[in-house]
Chains A and B, each alone.
Chain A
Amino acid sequence: GAVVSQHPSWVICKSGTSVKIECRSLDFQATTMFWYRQFPKQSLMLMATSNEGSKATYEQGVEKDKFLINHASLTLSTLTVTSAHPEDSSFYICSAPPGTSGRNIQYFGAGTRLSVL
């Protein structure tokens, strides 16, 4: 299947700092990427849809000023957690549908564990 790379896999930061997470499609172009959040022992919740060349679409209840998304190219989307606080500690996962023929399937990055002290 298609490969989605996510970096870093684990980040620890101090409260009040910002953290950037990258999601790259390695062998396909992705006009759309998705960002999910997963709390321990819980399911994945869609946070936002990242669209290349346009603004991201956020799910209800997700603060767009807290979670900044930039989809600068057809292979890269970034999620920046601004002014992080301990309650932002979670597992963040990105996904992308590959190309034009495989839009109705999604492949996932390995996820990023964020710990805010």
Chain B
Amino acid sequence: AQTVTQSQPEMSVQEAETVTLSCTYDTSESNYYLFWYKQPPSRQMILVIRQEAYKQQNATENRFSVNFQKAAKSFSLKISDSQLGDTAMYFCAFMTPYSGGGADGLTFGKGTHLIIQP
């Protein structure tokens, strides 16, 4: 079984600052996917970024980037030029790849509540 750990229950930064959210995971799988999802007060889960474990290059999406360290089983999210709209819960999630037997559900960390202060 996989586990995902987010050690920062809450973080607060000023608008325009850069913030890094940490995530570690444990798995015996060699191929898998890692995700960061954002859950604003509306509670709609929004995909922020995805990383495939077999790709060494860190994924980036505009102001969002990850630092994926496969050997250390670490997957941190960096948000640059933070904006008020970034205020939300952020969940790190793990998934094994689809196989002939079907898709697997996501394993989530406990989440980090990120607050962007004006």
Contact = CB atoms under 8 A, between A and B. Distances in A.
Interface of A: 1, 31-32, 34, 36, 38, 42-46, 49, 51, 59, 91, 93, 95, 97, 103-108, 110-111
A44 B95 contact: no
A108 B45 contact: yes
Contacts of A91: 43
Nearest to B50: A105
Interface of B: 33, 35, 37, 42-47, 50, 52, 91, 95, 97-98, 102-111
Contacts of A51: 102
Contact of A97 (B43, B44, B103, B108): B103
Contact of A44 (B42, B98, B103, B108): B108
A104 B95 contact: yes
Nearest to A6: B44
A95 B91 CA distance: 15
B91 A43 contact: yes
Contacts of B97: 103-104
A89 to B, nearest CB: 15
A32 B108 contact: no
B91 A105 contact: no
Contacts of B108: 43-45
Contacts of A34: 105-106
Given A104-B98, A111-B43, 16 more contacts: A1-B47, A32-B102, A32-B103, A36-B106, A43-B91, A43-B111, A44-B108, A49-B102, A59-B105, A103-B98, A104-B52, A106-B106, A108-B37, A108-B45, A110-B42, A110-B43
